[in-house]
Structure 1
Amino acid sequence: MSTHSPFRRFLPRPRARTRLYCFPHAGGAASTFHSWAHLFPETVELVAVQYPGRHDRYLDPMPDSIPELAEEIVRSIEMPLDRPTAFFGHSMGAMVAFEAARRLQPRFPSPLAGLFVSACKAPAERTPRGLSFDEDELRAYLRELGGEGAQKLEENEELWQLAFPVISGDLRVVEKYEYTAGAPLTCPLIAMGGNRDLSVAPADLELWKNYAIRGAEVHVVDGGHFYFDESLPRVIGILTTLLAQLSLQRV
């Protein structure tokens, strides 16, 4: 069992009205959200999730499945929550955040103010891509997804060799994920994505409505799979507005 906390606060705001836990994509780290923390207003404290096997958790083994990873994260969250709290997960992070949200809601209402799932198909709609985890295949896959991170890996062979074990390890748990049906979430659910994402279409986001008792609110912005690379200030603006609304609903 690791003694490292999975949470990183780049800009602590103990008096913030709301708290947003952010779960990164496959191969990603808490640092993905470093710039986000400084773009949010004082009313929002961002807490980035650091998965095992990277950066200061390099020696911590990755759990064998998405649910196990979600369990580890939930065990580290102090309960009861001291303020309106939401989860935001991107791609693989949306899967982890969804499974974590399920584990936080054994009662009604959910302790979560909201769940944001980004660039991810609904759980029962996911099918394995059949990846062989060959290096060339994974390079092509990341190239297809696009984003600033993929471009940096394309340009830096040393960085790729460091990142490859983490990316392949994360994608292995994504590939083996099997949704187990259960009660719908009782917290608000917001699905977000880019209008040029070749892997998750706006119609895919609509299917998240089946996973929460109030359905799902969908927001589509201009961009690909990593749409926030192109329009981060706009995305932060949307999240800030929605978090303020969710916070008021909790009062």
Structure 2
Amino acid sequence: MSCAWLNIPHPKPNAAIQLLCLPHAGGTAALYRPWVKLLPDSIELVLVCLPGREQRCNEVMPADMRSLITLLGNAVTPILDRPWAVFGHSMGATVAHELILSLQCRNLCGPEHLFVSARKAPQFQEGGNQHQLDDDSLCQQLIQLGGTAPELLEIPELRALLLPTLRQDYRLIETSKVSSDQPLSCPITAMVGRDDPELTPDDARGWQRWTNCHFHIYEYTGNHFYLSQSPHLVVSHVVKQLGLT
């Protein structure tokens, strides 16, 4: 697949389903690379690379969610002739939800399943001003979430690389609102760390309102980045919900 938005680290042309994985704010699809060795042959991993990171580090994130979803929707359209599912962590969960809503409005083929990780249901989401914080305060926010080692944020070069992208992402997510109140025609599975400072299991259970199909929730030991601590368990639950081996 030749596309700046999508990368398949281990092609599986005979896989039963493709699993698109979307990163968190300021993060990259590298979060999911350990899954390459954990997923069965029936699932092909597709990593979504958003503007402002990795090979797209010189690109600017679109200023609003609608523009981002339009571009991302055009990128995924070529794979819609095969069954697919989507997993989004934190900001990625909101982007995944908006992507499906957009495709649904265009009467295009939706996914077999939506996995929303470490993200409040849309009805509980509020705006914020984290994108306006100074550098030190923004770094403290990252440390609180547990996704970045404090010593790394003391490296000026890393801060200069990470913080602009993080601000772009936070601005996008903090200034956007859900585009439709229509439920999805696919099952939703919510996943949450019990020690996540940003949401509670009840916040995650609110996703049940957004599907006409089956809903399930998994709670894990860990914080906002629980899936880095228990990748085998998370992948096993993804496989189970997709009904594959």
TM-score normalised according to structure 2 size:
0.91
Give the equivalent residue in structure 2 for 1:156: 155
Residue in 1 that maps onto 2:194 = 195
Q: Is the 8 A contact 1:108 1:186 kept in 2?
A: no
Report the Cα distance in structure 2 between the residues aligned to 1:103 and 1:231, rounded to whole angstroms: 32
**What secondary structure sits across from 1:204 in the alignment?**
helix
1:51 counterpart SS class: coil
Per the alignment, residue 10 of structure 2 pairs with 11
**CA shift at 1:123, angstroms?**
1.3
| Equivalent residue, structure 1, for 2:139 | 139
The C-alpha deviation readout for 1:153-188, integer Å capped at 9, x for no partner, is 335332222111111111111111122333111111
Task: Tell me which amino acid in the other structure corresponds to 2:187.
Answer: P
| Equivalent residue runs for 1:1-251 within 5 Å | 5-79=4-78, 81-106=80-105, 111-131=110-130, 132-147=132-147, 149-151=148-150, 153-154=152-153, 156-214=155-213, 216-244=215-243
User: How far did 1:79 drift?
Assistant: 4.6
Task: Quickly say closer, same or farther: Cα 1:65–1:141, change in 2 above 3 A.
Answer: same
Deviation at 1:17, TM superposition (A): 1.2
Contact 2:101–2:180, Cα closer than 8 Å, also in 1: no
Please say if residues 64 and 173 of structure 1, whose CA atoms lie closer than 8 Å, have aligned partners that are also in contact: yes
Question: Which runs of 4 or more aligned residues in structure 1 lie more than 4 Å from their structure 2 counterparts after TM superposition?
Answer: 107-110
Change (3 A) 1:81 1:180: closer
Contact 1:109–1:186, Cα closer than 8 Å, also in 2: no
Q: 1:184 to 1:110 in 2, by over 3 A?
A: farther
Gaps of 5+ in 1: none
Cα deviations across residues 76-132 of structure 1 (Å, max 9, x unaligned)?
Answer: 113572332101000000010000011122378953101111100111211123322
Shift of 1:150: 4.5
Q: Residue 97 of structure 1: SS of its match in structure 2?
A: helix
Cα separation, 2, equivalents of 1:223 and 1:109:
37
Inter-partner Cα distance in structure 1 for 2:187 and 2:123: 19
> Unpaired runs of 5+ in structure 2?
none
Q: Relative to 1, partners in 2 of residues 1:70 and 1:24: Cα closer, same or farther, differing over 3 Å?
A: same
Aligned residues: 243
Offset from partner CA, 1:197-242 (integer Å, 9 cap, x none): 1111101011111111236311111111000121111111111111
SS at match of 1:105: helix
55-64 or 88-97: which moved more? Answer: 55-64
CA distance in 2 between partners of 1:140 and 1:99 (Å):
29
By how many angstroms is 1:145 displaced? 0.7
Distance 1:45 1:140, change over 3 A: same
Q: Residue 130 and residue 58 in structure 1: after superposition, are their counterparts in 2 closer, same or farther (change >3 A)?
A: closer
Q: Confirm or deny: 8 A CA contact 1:7 1:48 kept in the other structure.
A: yes
Letter of the 1:118 counterpart? S
- The range that moved more, 8-17 or 54-63, is 54-63
Q: Report if the CA contact (8 A) 2:3-2:75 is conserved.
A: no
Q: Supply the RMSD in Å over aligned alpha carbons.
A: 2.2
Cα distance change of structure 1 residues 232 and 159 upon mapping to structure 2, 3 Å threshold: same
